[in-house]
Structure 1
Amino acid sequence: MEDFLRKINLVQDISIQLPISKIDFIQKFRTNVDESDLSFVPFEVFESSKNEYKGNILNNSFEFKKRRKFFNNNYSFAKVTGTFKEDHNLLIVNAEINGFKKRMLLFLGIMILFYLISIFSSIFLPGENPPFIFFPFHFFPFLLFHMSLMIGIPYFVIRRSVKRMVYDVERDLHYWVTKN
């Protein structure tokens, strides 16, 4: 499953080298990321914080994601988890950006089941007025178009979110290191 998600760009790996010590990176991370366990907070948009991210950091690993903001259409679904290690004068950060959540499997399963039932009932039920049918056969092209939209739009939104998060993480980590 993980390989398939990487192939369709819903999970990406990045590696960044930063000219900073491990202790300084942890300190900068804590000043730029609000401490959170990344669970669902219903009124998160009303919290006031100048930090763009929320997450946590341990001795050699971290996880964070973008904070929800009021009237922000660019909310990222992606979550960043990573490890870091110090090698001579460089800090090597290996991170995974994951936009796919396991609870989406339920949504996809229900949608695929609905479309399979609709397709099979429109193809295999005989007669002019079958007793149980979702769509007549002449709506079959509409059904395929609808299915491509209902599965395709979330896919492209999540893929764009992962791609944007890769860019933001690289940019922000370098910015944290260079700013005083």
Structure 2
Amino acid sequence: MENLLGLLRIHVHRGVNLAIRDVRSSDPYVIVRMGKQKLKTRVVKRNLNPEWNEDLTLSVADPNLPIKLSVYDKDTFTLDDKMGDAEFDIKPFLEAVKMRLENLPSGTIITRVKPSRENCLAEESCIIWANGKVVQNMFLRLRNVERGEVELQLQWVDIPGSRGLHM
């Protein structure tokens, strides 16, 4: 843990227009992975537009590792069905955090990340200064599935005594 840079709080807000994996609906949950870490949201029953509103916190030691997100349909008697996956890069976000911006008006856009073939963004993602913190809102388009998006917000948490982002 001596290489810890800090914590990344991922607010898993909601899923939009997710795929049907049961008879008429799905029971979706999200798994977030970074390196060996794996975190999971609760299951929302019978909902293709679930609101998880859950915070998952990852310890960040290597900013080059992508964060992988998978959506699954919870099944009782069989293996849970995959409902798509996405991944995103936290480097642009960490660059914005490293700027150590202070005294900006809340809502100021620091950086915009455009959707591209290399990322899973469904629309432009803005990294903004909000209430004294750098946050990034993103809509991720799920891959390997017919449809669906997941809305997230990233927020950085500095840990006293960690290496921090002063590179």
Verify same fold: TM over 0.5.
no
TM-score (norm 1): 0.26
Pick the structure with greater CA Rg: 1
Larger helix proportion of the pair: 1
Larger strand proportion of the pair: 2
